Structure 1
Amino acid sequence: MNKPSTQHFTVLNEYVERIQHQISATAAASYILHQQEVVNEWYSGTHDETGQRVVDAASRFNVASVRKTYLGFVVSLALYEGKIRNLDDSITDYIDDYIDITDQQMAATLRGTTIRHLLTHTHGLHHLNRRLFTAGTNWAYNNMGVNILIKLMEKLYEKPFVHVLEEKVFHLCGFTETGWSKERDSNLVWLDEVYTDDQGNDGNLFVSARELARWGQLHLDKGMYKGIRIIPTEVFELATSICTPPQLEPHLPRNGFFWFVQDIPRTASELGDQLPGGSFQSLGITGCACLVIPQYHTVAVRMYNQQGGNPASYDYLEDIKTFGNMVCTAIKQM
């Protein structure tokens, strides 16, 4: 059952529902925090086409690439703690135990690739022995940087990065609706996929709308939780500040530690043109998104369970930018 929402979000929720039908998602949610208060909570549909489980507050969606922001947090923590010396260090300085650098072709491919490049999708890697472009000169979205950093964090912390999240964030904040799952349960909005790992290596992070909003709120509050600092401010400032190499073409996105960060509107960015500078967002292929607007003290989450390709009539960039712009408009009307 949907909770009461202010009238300002009626149009937004109608838009989210319209896109739900356009992309053939059976499940959807919209959840917005403003000044730490819930101002919009809306759910639609069922977990799957059988219609047996109605979407509600406990429903946990597969957030797909939004998982990268959790990895980004751990990378930022590693930098703060001195486990990583500098963002501009070559990745080959750290991963000698992970990749056989004696392979000359692989070593040549990775040469010049820094941690900064991996975090901002500017690494240019297609495979460990194939490059799309020289690192730092262009932008391409894939999981190569993610996969390397997952292994690096495991090496630096001597445990899967998921365990670092559990110790540093999940337990302290009481997160019980966030986690990597390889087995179904009644609260998971399950996709038609098979997972073999629950340690962060696969794209199987399931989160409820309300807890994803709390993740965004923790970033907005820069590590403060219920008036207590649980994580240093610098960790969040690093993660949500632009660290993309400055020489990139102006139409290309700017990223923090995987987050898309707004400075000026950019054609290829996922952030709406109306969003103020400093806003940051992450979007997954399932349609799930977490948007943080510090200037308006707002966190906005939307959830879908989209599977398969986009319909011909659907432009995902136009959609996610419209969502952000509509959130911005609704908040300014409050």
Structure 2
Amino acid sequence: MVSEEYWGKHSKAPDARSIQEDSQFHVASVRKCYIGFAVAYAVHHGYIESIDDEIINYLNLDNKLLKKITIRHLLTHSHGLNTTKSKIIREFEPGLSWAYRDINIELLTQVVKLTTGKTIAQILKDEVIIPLEFKETGWHDEENEKLVQVIREPNNKFWSTCKGTDGDRKNMYVSTRELAYWGYTHLKEGFINGKQVVSKEILNLTTTLQSPCLLNKELPQNGFLWFVKELPARNTEIGELVPKESYQILGYTNVALLVIPQHEIVAVRMFNSFGSTPGYDYLSDIRDFGDTLLRCI
């Protein structure tokens, strides 16, 4: 631990608890790196033969729009699917472009559960949470004093009220330290205190570039849902100064985890503000997070 700082309160209530070491933040889409781990677990153990398999090989869904879409497309946001009024639509042919949508997560969690017979949460518990002795990482339906309240507009259309503890919902909470240690586990390839605690092969699979060769070279690049820095790209969410082979995951609550292997650095920021306020440039801000870090070293 090189630097650590907390400030603020759990909510706007006058008697709100102060943010501290055991405060657990709603991490929003940062949960996807845990889901990516579960998919990599299924691949590593042979439940999924190849990420280039079409998803209709694993899902009992009769929808012609799912044809030709592979697990790789889902993992790298290159599937081209979206939903409108609960109906699946296609925005572009799979593998030709990139778009950040939620339907790929819904499909991936179904594939994991059907192939392994386990939920995302069960896989994480056995492979990560118990081995790393995590106490502040998990899915919560009910409030408790350690959960930081998310500040948001009451009727924000992107906010999910879905409940469940299987790991397929948007209700994951993690403390700052445990999110940082999750990144550190990747940095050390699962080898902690002289022991292989988490599978090196699974971790490396998740953070290796998996994106298909897209026509637009300026689009972001992904591993197993992680954003990875491989080729220069104007639309990447990783800062320009951040070196190659770094990887990052971020969420709409402005939470971010960045791992920079070249400098052996893991950095985390946690917020409890949901979405982007008027005049706030989210893409510029998240790039500056990594660039500021590089300027400091």
For the aligned pair, the TM-score class normalised by the smaller chain equals over 0.9
Pairwise mapping of residues 231-242 of structure 1 onto structure 2 (< 5 A)? 231-242=198-209
1:123 aligns with 2:105: no
TM-score by length of 2: 0.93
Aligned to 1:320: 286
Q: Does 1:74 align with 2:74?
A: no
Aligned pair count reads: 285
Q: CA deviation at 1:195?
A: 4.1
Cα distance in 2 for partners of 1:198, 1:190 equals 18
Aligned-pair identity in percent equals 39
The answer for the alignment partner of 2:236 in structure 1 is 269
Output aligned runs, 1:81-120, within 5 Å.
81-96=45-60, 99=61, 101=62, 106=63, 108-120=64-76
Match of 2:146 among 169, 187, 190: 187
Tell me if the contact between 1:118 and 1:145 (Cα under 8 Å) persists in the aligned partners: yes
Deviation at residue 68 of structure 1 after TM alignment: 0.3
* Distance in 1, Cα, partners of 2:44 & 2:168: 23
Q: Tell me which residue corresponds to 1:305.
A: 272
Structure of higher CA gyration radius: 1
Indicate conservation of the 8 Å contact 1:182/1:194, yes or no: no
Note the C-alpha offset of 1:131.
0.5
Would you say 1:50 and 2:9 are equivalent positions?
no
Q: Secondary structure at the match of 1:172?
A: coil
Q: Give me the whole-angstrom Cα distance separating, in 2, the residues matched to 1:80 and 1:196.
A: 29
Give unpaired runs (5+ residues) of structure 1. Answer: 1-37
Give the whole-Å Cα distance in 2 for the aligned partners of 1:270 and 1:182: 30
Whether the 8 Å CA contact 2:191–2:198 is kept in 1: the answer is: yes
- SS of 1:126's partner is strand
Q: Which runs of 5+ in 2 are unaligned?
A: 153-159
Alignment counterpart, residue 140 of structure 1, candidates 84, 94, 99: 99
Code of the residue aligned with 1:93 in structure 2: it is N
Give, as a single letter, the amino acid of the residue that structure 2 aligns with 1:209. Answer: T
**Offset of residue 148 of structure 1:** 0.5
Pairwise mapping of residues 16-35 of structure 1 onto structure 2 (< 5 A)?
A: none
CA RMSD in angstroms comes to 1.3
Matched, 1:155 2:119: no
TM-score (norm 1): 0.83
More helix by share: 1
1:14 is aligned to: none
The runs of at least 4 consecutive aligned structure 1 residues that moved more than 3 Å come to 192-195
> Hey, what's the Cα distance between the residues in 1 that align with 2:141 and 2:192?
29
CA distance in 1, matches of 2:125, 2:268: 22
